[in-house]
Chain A
Amino acid sequence: MTSVWPQLEPHLARVQKPARYIGCEDGAKATPPDPALASWLFMYPDAYEIGLPNQGLQILYEIINERPDAQADRSYAPWNDLEEIMRAEDIPLFSVEHHTPAGDFDVIAFNLSAELTYTNVLNCVDLAGVPVRAADRTIDHPLVMAGGHCSYNPEPLADFLDVVVLGDGEEVVGEITDVLAPWRLDPARDRGTLLRALAQIEGVYVPSLFEAVYVDGRLAETRPIEPGIPAIIEKRTLADLAEWPYPKEQLAPLTEVVHDRLNVEVFRGCTRGCRFCQAGMITRPVRERPADQVRTMVQNGLERTGYDEVSLTSLSSADFSGIEPTVNGIMDDAENTGCGPVSVSLPSLRVDAFGVDIAAQLNRAKRGGLTFAPEAGTWRMRQIINKLIREEDLYEAVDAAFSQGWQRVKLYFLIGLPSETDEDTLGIAELAKNCVEIGKKHNKRASVTASVGGFVPKPFTPFQWFGQNTAEELQRKVNLLRDATRKTKGVQLKWHDPSATLVEGLASRGDRRLGPVIEDVWRAGGVFQEWSEHFDLERWTTAMETHGLSVDDYVYRHRTEDEAQPWDHLSAGLHKDFLWQDWQDALAEVGLEDCRWTPCYDCGACTGYGIEHVVASATPPAGGSQGTGQDLTFNGATPVKLLTAAEAGAR
């Protein structure tokens, strides 16, 4: 393995933010490349500043590097200016640690977190000097692998990926290495043998060992092409997060990145049951990290990195058992050891679990703004999406935030949800205006940002059957909101480009026929599609037409109960009839309780894999309506239809 550094170095002073390409982060692996070891290149298919903080990638990077028989480097998509130089000067894609050519690794493993990065995956494979199509690769080429949330429907990338991994990666990367390490030393090795051996590992999907069958232009089935290959690929799930205190040495970069702070995962999985949320569905059950382990990881991390901010990450961190004493303990530890003051942030704050107490704690070293996600503007809509928080919960949370000194509050909303009316959409403007009014009682300069995204139905959610709103319809709704908030001082409206939402919808539920479309867009120069300055809808619509595919059919069409979905041969543990019933309940405007504190309604995620929630507290955190939507303070004044777990489970 040689280094491309001598070729790269003379050009770096001429590219934007060259520190993205030099590695040298705190926590980066320093041991030199060893050809005797199985080698992984963990790759985030977007710019360094987006990819570096990715916790999944950092966890697997450490786990592989702890093995005696393997080693791992990292890489990120080079920005356009460097790519131009690399192509002109014949410099291949490289790892940031040792500037080893990407093609020299045994595995290039992509984190798939967003659909709009798919064309970057092809670009990175190509820059590595590896054929973009899996079928064209030989034993001289790395395995191209992918994991992450988007891998629950990898079919649009099936032509390009050798191996896809479903679910938690901590254990499975080791099992893959166990197969890979002896194979690479076998003089008689061939790619087919390796792929068939990997296909026997639970959670590993080899797209080339499956075929998609179409009848009358519709997908009928995706099935193995030979005997001995499991017909359904089950996801991997860690039973106990406490056994995996990773990353132990979080990377602290030299240059500014998003989420530039210490991140400690406090639990994985979420059972609040928000019906639009793929992350909440595919990561079940809830597995909390023990509070004392959280404190130790935070304290070690602060001491090691010198960060003064820590984020306690999860899908809904205020739900962590004993969150208040934990936050308190973290701040005390930091102050007692001379690391203070630190600020603690809780992403994905539920408004019904945010009170003055926790606001005051977070405020000990206050910084920036606070973000809440009411998701929808009316109670009717929030019942449909099963985000059962009352308007009063939001107002109390916002009041708590402004009263404790915050000046900015950001609210996340979705538009284009099932059965949404203009009244529901305009409810977003109403909520934002009311929140500013509350803020102004505490601070003249109080401001509220309403951030609005178009809803994209995702696989393995109750909304997977829903036909996405058209880009025109989403734009009309954005315009409604713009008109409604224009004259309100203190309310700022931000929105996601509806045409980008369209393309996300295409890839989210697309099948293998989208492969050539993605390849066309990439070949036409459509990379960095997450970046508005690079996104171009026309490239996508042209490619769809070229291949005789219809946007209506892929994105806007409601699916029927009996039709085959491109991910039917994959499993997140959830029963399909549970998801369908939840979709029917959504349309009937009926909510469903959080099963971590109530009896099981058998969605399949625990029972199917013989695992259970790991939750320290048997009761929900105090305050608010606790996801019941019921007015607990005023004896249920809010009319709410709620199925009991018994009713839900009996069906």
Chain B
Amino acid sequence: MTEPSAPIKATEPSNKGIANPERMRLRVRFTKQGKIRFVSHRDLARLMERAFRKLRLPVAYTEGFSPRPKFSFGLALSVGHESEAEYLDVELATSIDLEDLPSRLTAVLPDGLAVTAVREMPPGTASLQEAIACCLWNIEVLGVPAPEVAAAVAVVCAATTFELERERKGKTTVVDVRPAILELEVAGPTNNGVQLVAVLATEKVSLRPAELIRVLDRETTSDLSEGWVRRITQWTLVDGERTEPISFDASTAHALERAS
């Protein structure tokens, strides 16, 4: 009589590595508009996590004592700014059908957060934080007459350097931010002020819209303040070409876009 063999212990499916063929990495593009623009980046992450759980999507979790869902957000948007193109990368433990996913996600998100595209990304895709090179902004400025704003814009565009003081962790440093202003022009008047269109860099030297206001304020006599600010597009550079970090090539099987 032989000893009964020890039961084979079932091993937990490993969470490690991206080699797991079942894994699916999604890139999600969404808007943030209206009242919801006052929600912080951190709170937005929690909202997204709840939305994925409401749809019972098989989100992958990190390992360890307190597992976290594998969500990775792109560049933070300042509280109060709107966006037509925010991004989120999510890792799923198993692959799913992406049909209708944008509208299903939008349905469980608060008004103003609308998912406009979801695409499967190949393993090894650079993270959003690494990939984004610059963003297109609509920036309304208030408090200064239009000709003066135009003059200030002209001065800044003509300058080869522009030094701005920055405070980081209690330390003040002086940075030449001119290289971060890739494009800047006056688009016309708004109800209360002047509309600017700007392309601002997000890597190497970066510049936020609030800092651009400070730059222009230095070139105007009266106080310039920030009005409505909206991020229109985020770009990554592919062979020097500005390209959206989510591609909509018709030949890409999983690319789904919803008219927005």
Please name the residue on chain B nearest to A21 by beta carbon. Answer: B38
Q: For the complex, is A252 an interface residue (Cβ under 8 Å from B)?
A: yes
B56 touches A338 (CB 8 A): yes
- The residue in chain B whose Cβ has the minimal distance to the Cβ of A306 is B50
Binds A, one of B19-27, B39-47, B178-186, B251-259: B39-47
Task: List residues 68-91 of chain B with CB under 8 A from any CB of chain A.
Answer: 79-80
Answer whether residue B232 sits at the interface, using C-beta atoms and an 8 A cutoff.
no
Contact, CB under 8 Å: B39 / A306: no
Number of B interface residues at 8 Å Cβ cutoff, please give it.
25
Q: Are B108 and A306 in contact (CB under 8 A)?
A: yes
| Residue of A18, A252, A306, A367 contacting most chain B CB atoms (<10 Å) | A306
How far, in whole Å, are A200 and B51 apart by their CA atoms in the complex? Answer: 47
Decide if A19 is an interface residue (CB 8 Å cutoff).
yes
Known contacts A12-B38, A13-B38, A19-B38; is A303 also within 8 Å of B54 by CB? Answer: yes
Cα–Cα, bound, A114→B52 (Å):
37
A19, B43: Cβ atoms closer than 8 Å:
yes
SS class, residues of chain A in contact with chain B: loop
CA distance A308 to B52 in the complex (A): 11
Report the Cα distance A254→B53, complex, angstroms: 15
Report yes or no: B50 in contact with A255, Cβ–Cβ below 8 A.
Answer: no
Q: Are B53 and A24 in contact (CB under 8 A)?
A: no
B110 touches A26 (CB 8 A): yes
* Complex contacts, A79 vs chain B, CB 8 Å: none
Question: Residue-by-residue, is A3-29 near B (CB-CB < 8 Å gives 1, otherwise 0)?
Answer: 000000000110001110111101000
CA distance A337 to B112 in the complex (A): 29
Chain A stretch 224-262: residues in CB contact (< 8 A) with chain B:
252, 254-256
- Which residues of chain B are within 8 angstroms of A255 by Cβ–Cβ distance? 39-40, 43
A residues 363-403 near B (Cβ < 8 Å) are 366-367
A18-B43 contact, Cβ under 8 Å, with A254-B110, A338-B56:
no
Across-interface contacts of A26 in B (CB, < 8 A): 110
Most chain A beta-carbon contacts within 10 A, residue among B35, B49, B50, B56: B35
Whether, in the assembled complex, B165 has its beta carbon less than 8 Å from a beta carbon of chain A, the answer is no
Please, which residues of chain B bring their CB within 8 A of the CB of A22? 35-36, 38-39
The answer to whether the Cβ of B66 comes within 8 Å of any Cβ in the partner chain is yes
B111 within 8 A of A: yes
**A residues 325-339 with Cβ under 8 Å of B?**
337-339
Considering only CB atoms, which chain A residue lies closest to B58 in the complex?
A: A338
Q: Considering the complex, which residues of chain B in the window 100-122 have a beta carbon less than 8 Å from any beta carbon of chain A? A: 108, 110-112
Distance (whole angstroms) from the CB of A620 to the closest CB of chain B: 34
Q: How far is the CA of A59 from the CA of B47 in the complex (A)?
A: 23
For B47, the chain A residues whose CB sits under 8 A away are: 254
- Are A306's CB and B49's CB within 8 A? yes
Q: Mark B133-177, 1 if CB is under 8 A from A, else 0.
A: 000000000000000000000000000000000000000000000
Could you give 23 example pairs across A and B, Cβ below 8 Å? Answer: A12-B38, A12-B80, A13-B80, A13-B226, A17-B40, A22-B35, A22-B36, A22-B38, A23-B35, A24-B35, A24-B111, A24-B112, A254-B36, A254-B43, A256-B42, A256-B46, A305-B50, A306-B50, A306-B51, A308-B53, A338-B56, A366-B66, A367-B66
| CB-CB nearest 5 A-B residue pairs | A13-B80, A306-B50, A338-B56, A306-B54, A306-B53
List 17 other contacts, CB 8 Å, given A13-B79, A19-B79, A252-B50.
A17-B40, A19-B38, A19-B40, A22-B35, A24-B36, A26-B110, A254-B43, A255-B43, A256-B42, A256-B46, A304-B54, A305-B50, A306-B52, A307-B50, A308-B53, A337-B56, A366-B65
